[in-house]
Structure 1
Amino acid sequence: MNITTSGLIRWSGLAAIAAGLIFAGIQPIHPADVLASVTTSTWTIIIGLKFAMCLFFLIAITGLYARQAEKAGWLGFAGFALLGVSFWLQTAFVFVELLVLPVIAGPLPGFIDSYLGVVNGHPGEMNIGALVPTYAVLGVCYLLGGLLFGIATVRAGVLPRWPAILLAVAAVITPAAALLPHALQRYAAVPMGIALILLGYSLWSERRGDEVVASRAHAGNPALDQAQTR
């Protein structure tokens, strides 16, 4: 099998679908961000899925941008870069949640309360340094990145319009979700997940369609195959 740029972009569509499914699917079953949760098996499974989601998202956003880079312009690049930084930072936070917090739950409960307080809106008493402003930077990059990338995608006209609009809107409404109870805030991620699924499917099916058309063209014109063998 030859590895081609178009093939890699197509496979990134599957990464977008996987990221979207995890992002939207885990919200109703995500354990509470409290000390008692971090040593449970449910926490390990859900946070493990989140860790995989971060990787899938980084692959997905790269493929989505690469597919429309020439037409998305600097606006698309800015959105791509900001979303990349957001999920790069998110990966670090999820890594700590998955592999560090369960280990220190016994000796350092105060740190866990303060760490999870960054997410659940109930800051603990321990000073956790730059983690608080870093999480704020993550949120700003997510908001601006999603908005700019969605607008650039609509303007480029390469990928479907409505999923791109949904992506932009989902990013913008995220700050408003902070006004809701934390248990409901998570559902603001569902529209973003749906947007990723739709964009990823478009990327995957588009490239697959091109390959089918090319295959039929060769089958209907033996001269093409003969020319390629010379």
Structure 2
Amino acid sequence: MAITATGLTKAAAVATATAGAIFVAVQINHPPMTAETTETLDWAMRSTAKALMGALAVFGLTGMYLRQHREAGVLGLVGYVTFAVGYLMIMATEVIALTVLPVLAGTNPAYVDAVLVTAAGGTPATDIGLLEPYLALSGMLYLLGGLILAIALVRTGVLWRWASVLLGLGVLGTGALAVLPESFNRPMAVPIGLALIALGVSLWRSPAERAAGSAEPHAHAGAALS
């Protein structure tokens, strides 16, 4: 099977949309983030899904950027790299949540609770070492990269602008969680997931295909006239 640029772009589109769908799905009936919860099957399934989401998002963002790298310029490159690194760090965090936290929950639940509080944007009651600046950096890169990339996507107009605007608004909403009650945490994630789904669909509908579709009637007209 030949690997083509069109095929890779469509694969990236599917990855982007799937990442968005997973991001929305894992918010539904999300359990409280406590040490006890990390030992449940529900936690394991959600952490696995979130790690997969991170990997799919990076692949999707790569295809999205390459599709319009000339139009996006330096701003698009900075947004793509920053957002992608943020997603990679989120993926690593979820691997820790899946493999490390459940093991520590039985012997050191206070540490696990402190990690979860930090991951949610709070202040830990216990020293968690380098995980604290790591989680802070992860969140900063995710928010900053998402906002910059959204601006770049709106400027290029290659993909649906409304979806790019929704991505930017979703990222801004996530940043606002620092001053909002914890109950807003899950709903604020939904716009980003929906934006990724829409951007994936838009990426699938490549301009080349649309151009070919619009040119086809003209070709038939030319044949009829000849």
Same fold (TM over 0.5): yes
Residue pair 2:52, 2:91 contacting (<8 A) in 1 also: no
Cα distance in structure 2, aligned partners of 1:112 and 1:102: 8
In 1, distance between residues paired with 2:61 and 2:121?
Answer: 28
Alpha-carbon offset, residue 22 of structure 1:
0.8
Unmatched 5+ residue regions in structure 2? Answer: 221-226
Q: Confirm whether residue 167 of structure 1 aligns to residue 189 of structure 2.
A: no
List gaps (5 residues or longer) in structure 1: 221-230
Bigger mean CA deviation after superposition, 156-165 or 198-207: 198-207
- Residue 50 of structure 1 aligns with which residue? 50
Secondary structure of the residue that 1:29 maps to in structure 2?
Answer: coil
Deviation at 1:122, TM superposition (A): 4.9
Matching of residue 28 in structure 1 with residue 21 in structure 2? no
Aligned residues: 217
Task: Give the whole-Å Cα distance in 2 for the aligned partners of 1:87 and 1:37.
Answer: 23
* Structure 1 residue 207 displacement after superposition: 7.3
TM-score in terms of structure 2 length: 0.88
Q: Is the 8 A contact 2:51 2:92 kept in 1?
A: no
Q: Encode CA deviations 1:158-197: one digit per residue, 9 max, x unaligned.
A: 1111001111111122121232332321221111101100
Give the distance between the partners of 2:197 and 2:74, measured in 1 at CA: 24
Work out the CA distance in 1 between the residues paired with 2:136 and 2:104: 24
1:105 has 2:95 as partner:
no
2:84 aligns with 84
Q: Please, which moves more after superposition, 90-99 or 106-115? A: 106-115
Partner secondary structure for residue 179 of structure 2? coil
Distance 2:137 2:180 in 1: 21
Q: Percent identity?
A: 38
Cα distance in 2 for partners of 1:65, 1:37 equals 37
Q: Which residue of 1 aligns with 2:206?
A: 206
Do the aligned partners of residues 80 and 137 (structure 1) sit closer, same or farther apart at CA in structure 2, a change above 3 Å counting?
same
Moved more, 199-208 or 184-193: 199-208
Match of 2:156?
A: 156
Residue 225 of structure 1 aligns with which residue?
Answer: none
CA deviation profile, 1:73-109 (whole Å, cap 9, x unmatched): 0000000011011111111111110111112221121
- What is aligned with 1:5? 5
Distance, in Å, in 1 between the alignment partners of 2:26 and 2:103 is: 23
Q: Any conservation in 1 of the 2:65–2:77 contact (CA below 8 Å)?
A: yes
In structure 1, what residue type is equivalent to 2:4? T
1:214-225 counterparts in 2 under 5 A?
none
Are 1:7 and 1:207, in contact at CA under 8 Å, matched by a contact in 2? no
Structure 1 residue 205: Cα displacement: 2.9
Whole-Å Cα distance in 1 between the matches of residues 45 and 156 of structure 2?
38
In structure 2, the residue matched to 1:226 is none
CA contact 1:23–1:53 (8 Å) conserved in 2: yes
Normalising by the residue count of structure 1, what TM-score does the alignment of the two structures yield?
Answer: 0.87
- Give the root-mean-square deviation of aligned CA atoms: 2.2
- Comparing 114-123 and 73-82, the one that deviates more: 114-123
| Residue 178 (str. 1) matches residue 205 (str. 2) | no
8 Å CA contact 1:80, 1:149 repeated in 2? yes
Q: Give the deviation of 1:212 after TM superposition.
A: 7.9
Deviation by residue 1:113-148 (Cα, 9 ceiling, x = unmatched): 111120235544431112111211112111211111
Larger CA deviation: 189-198 vs 150-159: 150-159
